[in-house]
């Protein structure tokens, strides 16, 4: 755990089973679930189980595992919704628009054109 990590954030609670989520994939290092306020149908989130706030805090193992899970989830969502293309979005720090201080990838089917920045 890094020094700044806020252990009571909502994704930490989801990981501990203290808050609900619509889970779509889980392995030893990652969890994927649907975004509670989707920007588009099929908007999913991929998070590491590691207590990491930003991309700079990820271990090599967590970084690789997140990428592998993003690949799986992105392809699955494309197939499920019959769309082509996936937008992967990721914010680091308040100034960049990060609102939940636990590292996450947004996996959003199709194009981001016409959507707000986050
Ligand atoms: P950020 O702005 O930090 O890049 O994105 C945070 C994302 O987490 C937002 O898209 C927001 O809708 C989502 N989110 C916030 N709280 C919850 C929650 O309790 N459950 C789920 N599934 N998503 C959440």
Task: Give tens-digit pLDDT for 42-82.
Answer: 999 999 999 999 999 999 999 999 999 999 999 999 999 99
Beta bridge partners of residue 34, listed in sequence order = 44
In this structure, the residues whose C-beta lies within 6 A of any atom of ligand 1 are 10, 19, 21, 33-37, 91, 97-100, 118
Give me the CATH number covering residue 88: 3.30.428.10
Centre of ligand 1 from the C-alpha of residue 61, in Å: 23
- Domain containing 39 equals 10-109
Out of 104, 106, 113, 118, pick the active-site residue: 104
Whether the CB-CB separation of 107 and 81 falls below 8 Å is answered with no
The answer as to whether 115 is a domain residue is no
Q: How many domains does the chain have?
A: 1
Q: Is the interface score ipTM higher than 0.95?
A: yes
pTM: 0.95
Residue 85 φ/ψ region, left for φ over 0, alpha for ψ in the -120 to 50 degree band, beta for the rest: left
Return phi, psi of residue 21, to 5°: -155, 160
Beta bridge partners of residue 45, listed in sequence order = 33, 106
Distance of alpha carbon 110 from alpha carbon 103, whole angstroms? 22
| pLDDT top residue among 115 and 77 | 77
């Amino acid at each position: 755990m890094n020094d700044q990590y806020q252990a009571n954030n909502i994704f930490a609670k989801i990981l501990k089973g203290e808050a609900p989520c619509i889970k779509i994939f889980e392995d030893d290092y990652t969890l994927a679930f649907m975004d509670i306020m989707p920007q588009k149908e099929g908007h999913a989130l991929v998070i590491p189980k590691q207590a990491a706030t930003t991309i700079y805090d990820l271990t090599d193992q967590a970084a690789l595992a997140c990428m592998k899970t993003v690949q799986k989830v992105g392809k699955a969502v494309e197939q499920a919704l019959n769309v082509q293309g996936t937008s992967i979005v990721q914010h680091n720090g308040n100034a960049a628009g990060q609102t939940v201080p636990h590292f996450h990838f947004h996996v959003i089917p199709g194009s981001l054109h016409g959507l707000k920045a986050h």
